[in-house]
Structure 1
Amino acid sequence: MQAALNTVMGRPNFTQSDVIESNLQGRTAVVTGGTAGIGYEVARALALAHARVLLIAQTGEHGEDAVAKIKADQSTSGPMVDVTFVQCDLGNAHDVQRVADRIREQEGRLDLLICDAGVGVNKFDVSADGLDRHFSVNHLGHFLLTNRLLPLMRSTAALPGARPPRIVVVSSSLHTTAPSSVRFESEDELMPEADQLGAMQLYARSKLANLLFVRYGLTQGVLRAPPVSENSNSAVNGNGSGAHTHNGSGILALATHPGAVHTGQQDQFKEAYGMVFGTLLKYTTIPFMRAPDAGSLSTLWAATADDVERDEAKWAGAYVTDPGQAGGESSMAKDEQLGKNLWKLSEKLVRERLGQDGLLPWDEIKHRD
C-alpha cells in the first residue's frame, strides 16, 4: 500500500542505503546547510558510511546539535563517525573566504563538495554583502566556496587510485518559474532598489543560477581541461595514476532536484505571505511532500553512485531529479548566454567585495609538501 501511495505522490520507493556506497572510508566531504533538512540527511548518511564530513552552517548551536545527533546514530560495533561543524555565513564573502581557506590548508583531500545551504521561499532580504539574500546564499556563496576549494579537489583527483571528486549543487524544479526578465547582467538586478520580485520568483532565480553554474560555469567551463600533448604524463589528464574524467579535469559537477520536501524552509512561508496565508500554505502542502531523508536521495546518488563514473559523458553537468534519472531543465537553464552572464557577474561581485585576489585561478591545484 505504501509503495503504491509513494508512486502516486511522486515519492521514491528506495532508501538511502539503496543509493549510497556502504563504505566511504578515506574520503572527505564538505556539506553546506548540513544542520537541518536535506543537508542534514546528506551529511548524516555520508558520515555513517564512514566519510569524514565537514558540516557548514551559519548557526553554531544548530551545528553542534547536528553533530551530536549524527554521532548518536552511529553503530556501536563500527568505527567512530568523523563529523565536524564549521560555522560560516554564505551570504558574507569574507566569511566564506576565511572558512574555505582554512579547509584548503588543513585538509589533506576533498572528494565531495555538497552545496545544499539555501534561503527558501521568502520575501526579499539583504545579505551581509548588500545583495539579494537568496542570490548571495544560494548561489554566490557557493560560487566562492567552490573556487577556493577547487585546488584541493584538483590535488585529490591527482592522487594515485583516486576516484573523481564531485561537486553537487542542490537546485529545485521551481527554477522553471524564474521570470523571463532575469538576465544576470548587472548588480542592479540584485539590489534592494530592484526589489520587484515575489518570494517564489526570488527563490526560483537563485535555483536557476545553481543550474547555470553547474552546466556552463563548471562542466562546460573551468572543469573542461585544455588539450594536452600526446607526451603529457599528467595524472589528472589520464596518463598518470590519478582520477580522470572525460573532460580531463578529474572532477565531476552535477545539479540535483530533491523533490518537494518538508523541511524547516516551510516556516518561512509565514514571513513571505503573512501569518494567516503562510500558515495555511504550510500545512496544506506538507502532506504532499517528501520527508527529508527521501529528499536526500538524488543528491546522495549524484555524490556516490558508480553509474556516474561509468557514464561520465551522460552525467557530467546533469540535472538529477531522482536516483538514475535526469532532465527537465527549463529553456532558461539551457541558455548559454545566461550562463556566461552569471559567471561574469559572479566574478565581478566577488572581486568588488574581496579585491582582485578574492578569486583564485580556476585551474590552480594545491601543491603537496
Structure 2
Amino acid sequence: MQSILQNTTGLGPKPVQPDNLNGRVAVVVGGAFGIGFEISRALANAGCRVIMVNRKEEQGTDARETIKSESPDASVEWRECDMGHLAQVRDVFSQLRESLDRLDFLVLCAGINTNEFGLDADGIDRHFGVNFLGQFYVVNQLWPVLRKTSKMPGTPAPRVVFESSEMHRTAPNNVHFASLEEINDSSIGPTELYGRTKLAMILFAKYGLAGKVIKENQDNIYAMSVHPGAVNTAMQQQWKDAYPGLTGKLLTWAMLAFGRDVKQGSYSALWALTDPKIEEQNMNGFYFSDPDQPGKESAQASDEKLGSALWDLAHRIVKDKLGEQALVDWKSCA
C-alpha cells in the first residue's frame, strides 16, 4: 500500500540509492533475504563488496544470482551462519575478521519476527538469541577490523547499523536484563519477546557501542539503530504462528495490506550507512524512524542503566556458553 502511495502521490519514506562505493566492504547479517537483501543489493550495485550472511543456503544462492544478473561485475559473497548458535557465530566471524583487510559497513538485520517462545541451540530464548545476542557477538568479533578501517587515511568512518523497530515500545514493562532466567521466561507473550529484542538493539547501539566502546576508545566509528517501517516480507506470516486462529490471520493481513514494500524498508538503513550528515552532525548512537528522521525512543530505550545491564548480561551469557576467552577485547585492532 505505501509503495503505491509513493508512486502516485510521492508520500512515503525518502528513497535512498547510494552510489560510488567502490573499494568499500560491507557485511550484512541477514543480507540474503527481505530487507537485508535490499540493503545488500543497493550496496553491491553501488560498487561495494558485499558479504551476505544467512542461515539458509538457497537464500544466499538466489540473492547472489539476482544481484549478479543486475550488475555482472558486482562483488557479492555469501556465508552460512545461524545467529542462534554462538559457537557457529564465533567460527564464521572470526574467520571473516582474519580474512578482511577492511570493513566499512556492518548491518545487523537477521531476525525472528513476533512468534511463540522457544529456545535456540544455546538454550536461550530464540528471539533474544537470534535478534540480539548472536548479532551482539558478530559486532564483537568484527570490531578489530572496523577499528583498523577507521584508522586508514582518507577513509570515511565505518558504520554499524541495527535493524530495530518501533516495536521496541512493546517490550515488557518489567524488563531488567538482569539474568538469563529473566530472558527465558516462557510466560512472556510473542509481541513482548520481539519488542524486547528491538529495545536491546537500540540500547546496545546507544549505550554499549557509542556510549562505552567508541567513547572510551575514541574510535572514529558510528553505531546506530533504525526502524524500517512495517514491511511486506514473508516474516509477516509469523503472526499466524504467534497468534493461532483469526487474530494471527488478521494481523498478517493488516501488515501485508498497509505495509511498505521491501525496498522502502531498506531506506532507513541505507541512509544511516551512507549519508554524510551522520558524521557532520556526530549522530552517534542515534535511533532513526525514517531516513533523516531521528526517532522518539521509549523511556526504556533512553535508560542508560538498562543499557549497562544489557551490556553486562550479554558479556556474561557469551562467556558462560563459550568460555572466558570467547570475547574479543573491544580495544584490539586487526
> Which amino acid in structure 1 is aligned with residue 261 of structure 2?
A
Q: Give how far 1:9 is off.
A: 11
SS class of match (1:223): helix
Q: Give how far 1:152 is off.
A: 0.5
**1:52-201 counterparts in 2 under 5 A?**
52-74=49-71, 80-191=73-184, 194-201=185-192
| Partners of 1:121 and 1:203 within 8 A in 2 | yes
> Which amino acid in structure 1 is aligned with residue 143 of structure 2?
L
1:165-199 alpha-carbon deviations (Å, 9 max, x no partner) = 010011000101111111100110122xx201111
Q: Give how far 1:3 is off.
A: 9.2
The 1-side partners of 2:230 and 2:216 are apart by 36
The 2-side partners of 1:257 and 1:7 are apart by 21
The counterpart of 2:295, out of the listed 303, 327, 333, is: 327
**1:1-369 counterparts in 2 under 5 A?**
5-6=5-6, 12=12, 14-17=14-17, 20=18, 22-74=19-71, 80-191=73-184, 194-225=185-216, 248-312=218-282, 315-366=283-334
> Which amino acid in structure 1 is aligned with residue 204 of structure 2?
F
The 2-side partners of 1:216 and 1:128 are apart by 28
> Which amino acid in structure 1 is aligned with residue 163 of structure 2?
V
| Partners of 2:205 and 2:224 within 8 A in 1 | yes
1:310-329 alpha-carbon deviations (Å, 9 max, x no partner) = 111xx110001111110210
The 1-side partners of 2:120 and 2:232 are apart by 25
> Which amino acid in structure 2 is aligned with residue 200 of structure 1?
T
> Which amino acid in structure 1 is aligned with residue 41 of structure 2?
R
Q: Give how far 1:158 is off.
A: 0.8
SS class of match (1:341): helix
> Which amino acid in structure 1 is aligned with residue 296 of structure 2?
G
Percent identity (aligned)? 41
TM score, norm. by length of structure 2: 0.96
Q: Give how far 1:16 is off.
A: 3.0
| Partners of 2:3 and 2:260 within 8 A in 1 | no
Task: Give the equivalent residue in structure 2 for 1:231.
Answer: none
> Which amino acid in structure 1 is aligned with residue 145 of structure 2?
L
Q: Give how far 1:8 is off.
A: 12
Q: Give how far 1:275 is off.
A: 4.7
| Partners of 1:263 and 1:292 within 8 A in 2 | yes
The 2-side partners of 1:295 and 1:120 are apart by 15
| Partners of 2:14 and 2:291 within 8 A in 1 | no
SS class of match (2:216): coil
SS class of match (1:268): helix
TM score, norm. by length of structure 1: 0.87
SS class of match (1:167): strand
The 1-side partners of 2:66 and 2:88 are apart by 26
The 2-side partners of 1:8 and 1:176 are apart by 32
Q: Give how far 1:336 is off.
A: 0.9
Question: Per the alignment, do residues 184 and 28 of structure 1 end up closer, same or farther by CA in structure 2, a change over 3 Å counting?
Answer: same
The 2-side partners of 1:5 and 1:358 are apart by 48
| Partners of 1:36 and 1:264 within 8 A in 2 | no
- Unaligned stretches of 5+ in structure 2? none
Once superposed, which parts of structure 1, at least 4 consecutive aligned residues long, lie more than 6 Å away? Answer: 7-10
The 1-side partners of 2:125 and 2:3 are apart by 41
Question: Per the alignment, do residues 362 and 8 of structure 1 end up closer, same or farther by CA in structure 2, a change over 3 Å counting?
Answer: farther
1:246-282 alpha-carbon deviations (Å, 9 max, x no partner) = xx30111011000111111111112111154323321
Question: Per the alignment, do residues 211 and 9 of structure 1 end up closer, same or farther by CA in structure 2, a change over 3 Å counting?
Answer: farther
The 1-side partners of 2:277 and 2:315 are apart by 33
Question: Per the alignment, do residues 11 and 33 of structure 1 end up closer, same or farther by CA in structure 2, a change over 3 Å counting?
Answer: farther
Question: Per the alignment, do residues 306 and 150 of structure 1 end up closer, same or farther by CA in structure 2, a change over 3 Å counting?
Answer: same
| Partners of 1:164 and 1:252 within 8 A in 2 | yes
| Partners of 2:115 and 2:238 within 8 A in 1 | yes
